[in-house]
Amino acid sequence: MAYLEIKNLHTHFSQKTGSVFSPGRHLVRAVDGVDLELEKGEILGLVGESGCGKSTLSRTIMQLIPSTSGSVTLDGENLSALSAAEVRQRRLDFQMVFQDPYASLNPRMTIFSTLAEAVRQRRPGLKGDALFERVETLMATVGLDARVMRKYPHEFSGGQRQRIAIARALAPEPKLIIADEPVSALDVSIQSQILNLITSLQKELGLTMIFISHDLGVVHYIADRIAVMYQGKIVESGAAGAVFHEPQADYTKRLLASIPRLAANH
């Protein structure tokens, strides 16, 4: 069995339509029969345009949104079958990095407090010098100077805040990290720094990750395998090089054509 196995996953929503005088409901099939597998230590790139269902899929995997049907199995355990209390206990094993690091960090907590809180989720008895050293190590891991740990999120740049968000995701020592558009809100020069950081962390720590993006070029740079999502379904998946250089699905070809540097070569 794969480390993460998603089988026939559906996440549907009922949405109001019409007007006050003529109300109705419409079924939105945000995730519509997704099958995916992820091996331990692998980065899977999930790519597709806005509204295709990527974020809903990630939140369903995280058990933040209940699935309509299907299963999500992590390291042999069916997360979809767990109670809410059991999911809360297991959530240490799967963490998220969000698109906007500023919105995901508590502005009233110092970086030390933010990371210490996350560390204690896994190691509740850790305190004093041992806790300080663990936070210091996390900051060094993501390329930040530990001397700034008493500062607040607003005192950092966007790229630095995303490094902090990555450190917080690493703090509980998770088995799986889902990064949802983690570089799309950053300047291009900062994007490359964060991508290089994720690549080096994957090699050093053996991270297992789903990296979500609308940009196939970014995903090709970082991922071992790529899955292309369109209208709630996976329309193509395979090794990153094969999907990028020899796409089979028409939708994947359109995504490739939308990358400026490729378009300029035609």
Confidence of residue 262 (pLDDT cuts 50, 70, 90): very low
Taking the C-alpha atoms of residue 51 and residue 65, their distance in angstroms, rounded to an integer, is: 16
Give the model's pLDDT for residue 19. Answer: 67
pLDDT in tens, 79-96: 999 998 999 888 899 999
Taking the C-alpha atoms of residue 81 and residue 68, their distance in angstroms, rounded to an integer, is: 12
Where would I find the H helices in the chain?
54-61, 84-90, 101-104, 111-122, 128-141, 158-170, 188-205, 216-222, 240-245, 250-257, 260-263
Say if residue 263's pLDDT is above 50. Answer: no
Taking the C-alpha atoms of residue 144 and residue 137, their distance in angstroms, rounded to an integer, is: 10
Sorted by where each starts, the structural domains of the chain and their CATH numbers stand as: 4-17+25-263 (3.40.50.300)
C-alpha distances out from residue 154 to 19, 111, 250, Å: 43, 11, 43
Confidence of residue 266 (pLDDT cuts 50, 70, 90): very low
Strands 43-47 and 225-230: parallel
Give the model's pLDDT for residue 246. Answer: 94
Taking the C-alpha atoms of residue 242 and residue 220, their distance in angstroms, rounded to an integer, is: 10
For tokens 């990630």, what's the residue? 58
Q: Shortest CA distance to 96 belongs to which of 170, 44, 156? A: 170
Report pTM: 0.89
Mean pLDDT of the chain: 91
Give the model's pLDDT for residue 18. Answer: 67
Task: Confirm if 255 and 216 have CB atoms less than 8 A apart.
Answer: yes
Give the model's pLDDT for residue 43. Answer: 96
pLDDT in tens, 12-65: 998 777 666 667 777 889 999 999 999 999 999 999 998 999 999 999 999 999
DSSP state of 13: E
Taking the C-alpha atoms of residue 176 and residue 140, their distance in angstroms, rounded to an integer, is: 21
Q: Which two tokens stand for residue 152?
A: 């607040």
Confidence of residue 102 (pLDDT cuts 50, 70, 90): confident
Give the model's pLDDT for residue 265. Answer: 45
Task: Confirm if 172 and 194 have CB atoms less than 8 A apart.
Answer: no
pLDDT in tens, 196-237: 999 999 889 888 999 999 988 889 999 999 999 999 999 999
Taking the C-alpha atoms of residue 215 and residue 225, their distance in angstroms, rounded to an integer, is: 14
Give the model's pLDDT for residue 139. Answer: 95
Helix (H, G, I), strand (E, B) or coil at 192: helix
pLDDT in tens, 230-257: 999 999 999 999 999 999 999 999 998 8
* Sequence-ordered list of residues with C-beta below 8 angstroms from that of 205, at least 6 positions apart, any chain: 170
CA-based angle 90:35:242, to the nearest 5? Answer: 115
The residues pairing with 16 across neighbouring beta strands, listed in sequence order, are 25
Rg (CA), the chain: 19
